[in-house]
Structure 1
Amino acid sequence: MTSITLFLILITLSSLIIPYFHLPLASSSLISPPSNQGQWNLLQPTIGISAMHMQLTHNDKIIIFDRTDFGPSNLPLSNGECRMDPYDTALKTDCTAHSVLYDIYTNTFRSLTIQTDTWCSSGSVLPNGTLIQTGGFNDGERRIRMFTPCFHENCDWIEFPSYLIERRWYATNQILPDNRVIIIGGRKQFNYEFFPKTITSSESSPSSIHLPFLQETNDPNENNLYPFVHLLPNGNLFIFANKRSILLDYKQNRVVKEFPEISGGDPRNYPSSGSSVLLPLDENLNSIEAEIMVCGGAPRGAFEEASKGNFIQALNTCGFLKVTDSNPNWIMKNMPIARVMGDMLILPNGDIIIINGVELGTAGWENGRRPVLTPVIYRSSVTVTESQRFSIMQRASRPRLYHSSAVVLRDGRVLVGGSNPHVNYNFSGVEFPTDLSLEAFSPPYLSPEFDPVRPIIRHVTSYILGYRVFYYVTFTVGKFGSASDVSVRILAPSFSTHSYGMNQRMVVLKLIGVTEVNFGTYYATVVGPSTQEIAPPGYYILFLVHEGVPSSGTWVQLM
Structure 2
Amino acid sequence: MASADGGPGGNTPQPSPDATTSGEPILGKPTSAATAPGSEATAIVTTDGSCGATNKNAICGNWPQGGCCSMYGFCGSTTSHCGDGCQSGPCLKGAVVPAPGPSPAPMNPNPGYFKVVGDSGVPVMHAGLMPNGRVAFLDKVENYTKLKLRNGQYAYASEYDPVTNQVVPLAYGTNSFCAGGTFLADGSFLAVGGNGPLDFIDPTVKNGFTGIRHLKRSSNDASLNGQDWIEPGNKLASARWYPSVQTMPDGRIFVVSGSLNGLDPSVNENNNPTYEVLSPTGVSTGQNIPMELLEKNQPYYMYPFMHLLRDGNMFVFTSKSSQIFNVNANAIVRRFPDLPGDYRTYPNTGGSVLLPLSSANNWDADVMICGGGAYQDITSPTDPSCGRINPLAPDAKWEMDSMPQGRGMVEGTLLPDGTVVWLNGANRGAQGFGIATDPTLDALLYDPSQPLGRRWTTGARSEIARLYHSVALLLLDGTVMVTGSNPVEQPVLTPDAKNPYITDFRVEVYTPPYLAGENANKRPTDVVLSSKDLKADGSTFGVAFKAPAGAKVVKVALYYGGFVTHSVHMGHRMMFLDVEGWKAGAAQQQVVVKMPPNRNVAPPGPYVVYVVVDGVPAVGQFVMVS
Q: Report if TM-score (shorter chain) is over 0.5.
A: yes
Match status 1:236 vs 2:236:
no
User: Contact (CA 8 Å) 1:284, 1:510: kept in 2 or not?
Assistant: no
The match for 2:217 is 149
Where does the alignment leave 5 or more consecutive residues of structure 2 unmatched? 1-107, 197-206, 260-270
Partner residue of 1:469 out of 525, 535, 539: 539
User: Contact (CA 8 Å) 1:247, 1:256: kept in 2 or not?
Assistant: yes
Match status 1:397 vs 2:397:
no
Partner residue of 1:416 out of 475, 482, 486: 482
Matches within 5 A, 1:75-474: 75-77=147-149, 79=150, 81-82=151-152, 95-138=153-196, 139-149=207-217, 151-152=222-223, 153=225, 155-161=227-233, 163-187=235-259, 188-196=271-279, 206-218=286-298, 222-264=299-341, 266-285=342-361, 287-299=362-374, 302-303=375-376, 305-306=377-378, 311-381=379-449, 384-428=450-494, 429=496, 430-451=499-520, 453-462=522-531, 468-474=538-544
Query: Any idea what SS the aligned residue of 2:569 has?
Result: strand
Q: What root-mean-square deviation, in Å, do the aligned CA atoms of Structure 1 and Structure 2 show? A: 2.3
Q: Assess, with a 3 A threshold, how the Cα gap between structure 1 residues 154 and 355 changes in structure 2: closer, same or farther.
A: closer
User: Contact (CA 8 Å) 1:124, 1:173: kept in 2 or not?
Assistant: yes
* Aligned positions, number: 489
Q: Assess, with a 3 A threshold, how the Cα gap between structure 1 residues 290 and 532 changes in structure 2: closer, same or farther.
A: same
Q: CA deviation at 1:451?
A: 4.6
Larger radius of gyration: 2
Alpha-carbon separation, structure 2, partners of 1:478 and 1:109:
34
TM-score (norm 1): 0.83
Q: CA deviation at 1:472?
A: 1.7
Query: Any idea what SS the aligned residue of 2:387 has?
Result: strand
TM-score (norm 2): 0.75
Alpha-carbon separation, structure 1, partners of 2:402 and 2:570:
24
Q: CA deviation at 1:315?
A: 0.5
Q: Assess, with a 3 A threshold, how the Cα gap between structure 1 residues 328 and 149 changes in structure 2: closer, same or farther.
A: same
Query: Any idea what SS the aligned residue of 1:215 has?
Result: helix
Query: Any idea what SS the aligned residue of 1:284 has?
Result: helix
Match status 1:541 vs 2:605:
no
Q: CA deviation at 1:465?
A: 11
Which digits, 9 at most, give the CA deviation of each residue in 1:246-285, with x for residues without a partner?
A: 1011000000110111023x21001111110111111234
Q: Assess, with a 3 A threshold, how the Cα gap between structure 1 residues 378 and 468 changes in structure 2: closer, same or farther.
A: closer
Which digits, 9 at most, give the CA deviation of each residue in 1:81-134, with x for residues without a partner?
A: 14xxxxxxxxxxxx1110001112221111111222111101111122111110
Matches within 5 A, 1:490-509: 490-509=558-577
Q: Assess, with a 3 A threshold, how the Cα gap between structure 1 residues 100 and 258 changes in structure 2: closer, same or farther.
A: same
Q: CA deviation at 1:466?
A: 12
Q: CA deviation at 1:488?
A: 1.1
One-letter amino acid of the counterpart of residue 506, structure 2 = S
Partner residue of 1:520 out of 584, 587, 599: 587
User: Contact (CA 8 Å) 1:457, 1:552: kept in 2 or not?
Assistant: no
User: Contact (CA 8 Å) 2:534, 2:624: kept in 1 or not?
Assistant: no
Query: Any idea what SS the aligned residue of 1:120 has?
Result: coil
Q: Assess, with a 3 A threshold, how the Cα gap between structure 1 residues 363 and 322 changes in structure 2: closer, same or farther.
A: same
User: Contact (CA 8 Å) 2:127, 2:136: kept in 1 or not?
Assistant: yes
Alpha-carbon separation, structure 2, partners of 1:40 and 1:498:
21
Alpha-carbon separation, structure 1, partners of 2:473 and 2:521:
27
Q: Relative contact order (C-alpha < 8 Å, sep 6+): which is higher?
A: 1
Alpha-carbon separation, structure 1, partners of 2:138 and 2:190:
14
User: Contact (CA 8 Å) 2:243, 2:302: kept in 1 or not?
Assistant: yes
User: Contact (CA 8 Å) 1:454, 1:551: kept in 2 or not?
Assistant: yes
User: Contact (CA 8 Å) 1:102, 1:110: kept in 2 or not?
Assistant: yes
Q: CA deviation at 1:535?
A: 0.2
Q: CA deviation at 1:460?
A: 1.6
One-letter amino acid of the counterpart of residue 532, structure 1 = R
Alpha-carbon separation, structure 1, partners of 2:334 and 2:537:
32
The match for 2:624 is 557
Q: Assess, with a 3 A threshold, how the Cα gap between structure 1 residues 467 and 233 changes in structure 2: closer, same or farther.
A: closer
Alpha-carbon separation, structure 2, partners of 1:542 and 1:519:
21
Structure 1, 543-552 or 129-138: larger mean CA deviation: 543-552
Q: Assess, with a 3 A threshold, how the Cα gap between structure 1 residues 418 and 452 changes in structure 2: closer, same or farther.
A: closer
Alpha-carbon separation, structure 2, partners of 1:129 and 1:197:
11
Which digits, 9 at most, give the CA deviation of each residue in 1:378-424, with x for residues without a partner?
A: 0122xx24343111111101100001111110111111111111122
One-letter amino acid of the counterpart of residue 279, structure 1 = L
User: Contact (CA 8 Å) 1:341, 1:499: kept in 2 or not?
Assistant: yes
Query: Any idea what SS the aligned residue of 1:445 has?
Result: helix
Match status 1:510 vs 2:584:
no
Query: Any idea what SS the aligned residue of 1:523 has?
Result: strand
Alpha-carbon separation, structure 2, partners of 1:503 and 1:353:
17
Q: CA deviation at 1:473?
A: 1.5
Which digits, 9 at most, give the CA deviation of each residue in 1:451-509, with x for residues without a partner?
A: 56532252222598995421222222223354xx2211110012100011101000111
User: Contact (CA 8 Å) 1:168, 1:189: kept in 2 or not?
Assistant: yes
One-letter amino acid of the counterpart of residue 121, structure 2 = G
One-letter amino acid of the counterpart of residue 402, structure 2 = N
Alpha-carbon separation, structure 2, partners of 1:465 and 1:440:
32
Alpha-carbon separation, structure 2, partners of 1:197 and 1:344:
27
Partner residue of 2:125 out of 18, 30, 52: 52
The match for 1:67 is 140
Alpha-carbon separation, structure 1, partners of 2:513 and 2:536:
41
Q: CA deviation at 1:182?
A: 0.8
Q: Assess, with a 3 A threshold, how the Cα gap between structure 1 residues 512 and 270 changes in structure 2: closer, same or farther.
A: same
One-letter amino acid of the counterpart of residue 473, structure 1 = V
Structure 1 runs of 4+ aligned residues shifted over 4 Å read 462-468
Which digits, 9 at most, give the CA deviation of each residue in 1:329-387, with x for residues without a partner?
A: 00000112221101111111121111010101111111111001111010122xx2434
Alpha-carbon separation, structure 2, partners of 1:408 and 1:436:
18
Q: Assess, with a 3 A threshold, how the Cα gap between structure 1 residues 257 and 474 changes in structure 2: closer, same or farther.
A: same
Query: Any idea what SS the aligned residue of 2:434 has?
Result: coil
User: Contact (CA 8 Å) 1:47, 1:75: kept in 2 or not?
Assistant: no
Q: Assess, with a 3 A threshold, how the Cα gap between structure 1 residues 486 and 185 changes in structure 2: closer, same or farther.
A: same
Alpha-carbon separation, structure 1, partners of 2:453 and 2:140:
42
Query: Any idea what SS the aligned residue of 2:163 has?
Result: coil
Q: CA deviation at 1:154?
A: 5.3
Alpha-carbon separation, structure 1, partners of 2:453 and 2:252:
42
Q: Assess, with a 3 A threshold, how the Cα gap between structure 1 residues 479 and 380 changes in structure 2: closer, same or farther.
A: farther
Q: Assess, with a 3 A threshold, how the Cα gap between structure 1 residues 349 and 519 changes in structure 2: closer, same or farther.
A: closer
Query: Any idea what SS the aligned residue of 1:182 has?
Result: strand
